[in-house]
Amino acid sequence: MSEQVTVTKRGRGRPRLDEARTEQVSSTRPPRVPVSGNRDILTVTGKDPDYVYRWVIDSDERGQRILKFLGAWYEFVRSDDGNHVVGQDAVYKSENVGSIIRVPAGSGKYQYLMRIRKEYYDADQKSKQDEIRDREKAITRTDSDNGQYGKIELSRD
């Protein structure tokens, strides 16, 4: 019960036109991105749906902007918090287990990946929308008792 193996000897150079060509190389290589093409370096995959994520750049060396976000109950995303994958392959990767995920932002600054629970984010957004609605109401008020006149309409196109 011996199996017979046929070995086809190939010559140097390109395969002949009548030979079957296989695309084994393309299945093992990542998709090609031209040098002048856009690179997706900030997209995060593996996010927890119970959180809203954002990149935060420190405004100065004292970390005032980061402190502002921490005070609003944002938290740093750590590399061991889940299966977070950031952007496409890059030379710089923050790979330390348990480290805060960050990427260079230029000029010696870094962007830190932070997140907040979705219910807190939604409450913040509702508060901002209520404030906008109150301002629009004050602008469009046409109360003749207050000495105002005319009619103002906002179009929502």
Query: 91-101: per-residue pLDDT in tens?
Result: 555 555 458 88
Handedness of CA 100, 104, 110, 113 (dihedral sign): negative
pLDDT score for 3: 66
Domain that holds residue 109: 39-120
Contact criterion met (CB below 8 Å) for 19 and 9: no
The conformational region for residue 150 under phi > 0 = left, psi -120 to 50 = alpha, else beta, is: left
Please report whether residue 90 resides in a domain: yes
pLDDT score for 43: 77
Please report whether residue 72 resides in a domain: yes
Please report whether residue 95 resides in a domain: yes
Tally of domains in the chain: 1
Please report whether residue 98 resides in a domain: yes
Please report whether residue 75 resides in a domain: yes
Please report whether residue 3 resides in a domain: no
Note if the pTM is more than 0.85: no
Alpha helices per DSSP H over 2-117:
24-28, 64-71
Please report whether residue 116 resides in a domain: yes
Q: Give the separation between CA 105 and CA 64, rounded to whole angstroms.
A: 17
Please report whether residue 43 resides in a domain: yes
